[in-house]
Amino acid sequence: MEGTNQYKWQPLEIEEEGEALFRPSSNEKDKLFGVPRKVWFGLLSAFLIAISFYSIPTAAHSSNPTVSSSNPTVPLDIEMLANALLPGVNSISDLNPTTSQYRALEWLAYNDTRGLTIEDDSTQLLERFSLVTLFYALGGEDWKLDDDWEDDCWEVWSGLWLNGSSSHCDWRPVYCGEDGLVTVFKFNAGWLSGELPPEIGNFRNARAMQFGLNGLSGSIPTEIGYLQQLHELDLSENSFSGTIPSEIGNLQQLESLGLDANYLSGTIPSEIGNLQQLARLYLLNNKFSGTIPSEIGNPQQLTLVNLSKNSFSGTIPSEIGYLQQLNSLDLAKNDFSGTIPSEIGNLQQLIELELYNNNFSGSIPSEIGNLQQLTFLDVRGNIFSGTIPSEIQNMYQLNEFLT
């Protein structure tokens, strides 16, 4: 060691020409090359410890940033995960460690042993990350079994979601297609709380999302518009607030939209008219206002429209007459005004018509007699004038008429 002569080396006399030998001094017994054996043992131990330290993969030292199926114990590099899975994130240090996204990245990097790689399994890895984000964002640690849930897997699903060796296709109540990509969420009547994270938009193959009857809050993420294969979206009976994002109009395969029993406000976006396959629209029991957009007449596959118990105003647009497949129209308990459009008579498949507790005026149009499938009609609580049209006698199926 520099600055000491504790371990002193002495050259020997040359025994043969051209050969220099070294031998410890005679007073240094039990030494190897002049260094006490204890020192050698200490140096050797330190060397072995250093070797073992650098051979343990960490987020900072791993030479292999991905998990291979042949060596599932090698963790994914958390920095590379952040760059690959979170657009706009340049470094893991940009994230708050308390966020669900950060916690999901940590889980993937240090707990997941499934063996997915960024290079070969990017879509499944993205969905796996998004599911873990969903778990942390929606209070996954507190998910419990409800007696009404029929799926036996609910009894153990919380544990499955934290099992790094299991496929996320086994994380009930999530279901996948044959390609291993998520297609169905069945979280209805669960114990979910919190806000839907933007990662909900990463499930591009999803066909159904059922999140009704939970404790979800916050706004509906605009990323919902990426789910262009979605056929059913049920967010009913939660505590969502804010407006319906215009991106809802991107869901052109959507057949059922359930947003009822929340705290949503604002108007119905005109983009609702893009949903050409929409059959059922539930917006009742919210805080919506404004008028019904004329584009409501575009989704001509509609069989049910329920806008009751809101603060909608204005008149019923004449385009409502295009909905000739409609079976049920409920506009009750709003602030609608004006007259009932004569185009209401085009809805010849209509079975239920509820207009009560509004400010409709004028006379009931004679075209209402065309609704020969109608069984229930309620127009109470309005300011109609004139007489009931005689054509109502043509409604042979009418069982109840409330005025």
Q: pLDDT digits over 175-229, tens only?
A: 999 999 999 999 988 789 999 999 999 999 999 999 999 999 999 999 999 999 9
| Strand order across the beta sheet in which 383-384 lies | 193-195, 215-218, 239-242, 263-266, 287-290, 311-314, 335-338, 359-362, 383-384
pLDDT at residue 206 in the model: 98
Residues 57/78, Cβ–Cβ less than 8 Å = no
DSSP 177: -
Cα(106)–Cα(128) distance, rounded to whole angstroms? 13
Q: Tell whether the model's pLDDT for residue 359 goes beyond 80.
A: yes
pLDDT at residue 68 in the model: 33
pLDDT of 34-46, one tens digit each? 556 555 556 555 5
Q: Which residues contact 80 (CB under 8 A, 6 or more apart)?
A: 65, 66, 118
pLDDT at residue 42 in the model: 60
pLDDT at residue 90 in the model: 82
Cα→Cα distances 193→140, 153, 187, 312, Å: 9, 20, 11, 29
Per DSSP, the three-state class of 38 is helix
pLDDT of 93-138, one tens digit each? 888 999 999 999 999 999 888 888 888 789 999 999 999 999 999 9
pLDDT of 376-389, one tens digit each? 999 999 999 999 99
Provide the Cα torsion 346, 349, 355, 356; round to 10°: 140
Cα(230)–Cα(212) distance, rounded to whole angstroms? 16
Per DSSP, the three-state class of 2 is coil
Q: Which residue has the higher pLDDT, 89 or 363?
A: 363
For residue 36, the cross-strand partners are 31
pLDDT at residue 345 in the model: 97
Q: Which residue has the higher pLDDT, 170 or 260?
A: 260
Please give the model's pTM, rounded to 2 decimal places: 0.79
pLDDT of 288-340, one tens digit each? 999 999 999 999 999 999 999 999 999 999 999 999 999 999 999 999 999 99
Question: What's the chain's average pLDDT?
Answer: 83
